[in-house]
Amino acid sequence: MSPYHPNVTEIFQAARNRTGVALITYALRHPDNDTAVGMAKKYCSIGCTPACPESWQSIFHLPNFGANSVYVIVFLLVLDAQIWLGIRHQTWNFLGAMVPGLFEEMIGYMERLLLHYNPYTENDFLTYLIGLTIAPAFLTAAIYLCLSRMVARAKVSAGSKKDQRDPFAVLKDSRKFRTFKNCLAVSTVLIFIRSIYRVVELQGGFSGKVVNNQASFMILEGPMILIAVIALTFYHPGRVFGGLWASTGKANGAIILYDDQAELTQRGGKGGFQAEESPTPLGGRR
């Protein structure tokens, strides 16, 4: 039989293990040496030898694998739906706010899955923390864009002639639009509740009781954002506004007001109201 020759990977892993053992041993003997402890933590894992103390962990609980996996999958599905709806209805600015927010949420929970296997890794902890902290800011921006479009359309509707039927005047009295406004309100409240929780959570630092209470995290962090983004997906502004979303705020041209109420209602029932552009603004002046 030919002699066994270890490959490069095995040699590197053996050297790394020896380095890790030496650093962990030294840090255990000198716990006040922050530099040594910081270097040793990079080699720590659950069940390693010598065992690293829990005080070195970046997070003091093991994130639930099943629950965090569900969050990753659902946020991925919502992200796919938002991309599809955004492209279909050409709500580019709303899409530009939702995509990074949902992506950060998904990355944050993926990092929590990694922390389930190794709570000592600082990079995974920071990525999870930063991702779930920043993500709601983008989602709030998406809600703000919806509110700004509503205000802009209301101004156009108020400035139209009395003998003209403005599509937005009909839209805002529809059941779909009322539900859309309720979804915006609910999403805003849920994100606000989550933000209050985050302030309380981090008040005691990363080693505090609240930040390491997995039950409160699973109730006041994930579900709050998840319900908010699902509501913004089912009642996507592109589905509600239709062509009125793209036409709002354009400097050149104006909204053609349909004379046929039945046609307007029919268009509104098939995925939102449609609007066309006229080269002459309302009022007959450029």
pLDDT tens-digit series, residues 131-146: 999 999 999 999 999 9
pTM of the model: 0.80
> Is the per-residue pLDDT at 246 higher than 60?
yes
Q: Is 212 exposed, middle or buried (0-12, 13-18, 19+ CB in 10 A)?
A: middle
**Is residue 202 over pLDDT 90?**
no
**With 80 as the cut, is the pLDDT of residue 217 above it?**
yes
Specify the length of the chain in residues. Answer: 286
pLDDT tens digits for range 103-159: 999 999 999 999 999 999 999 999 999 999 999 999 999 999 999 999 888 887 777
Query: Where do the structural domains in the chain lie, given as residue ranges?
Result: 8-56, 65-278
DSSP at 56: G
**Beta-carbon contacts of residue 189 (< 8 Å; ≥ 6 apart):** none
Q: Residue 236: enclosing H or E segment and its boundaries?
A: none
Residue-wise pLDDT tens digits, 75-88: 999 999 999 999 99
**Two tokens at 134?**
């920043």
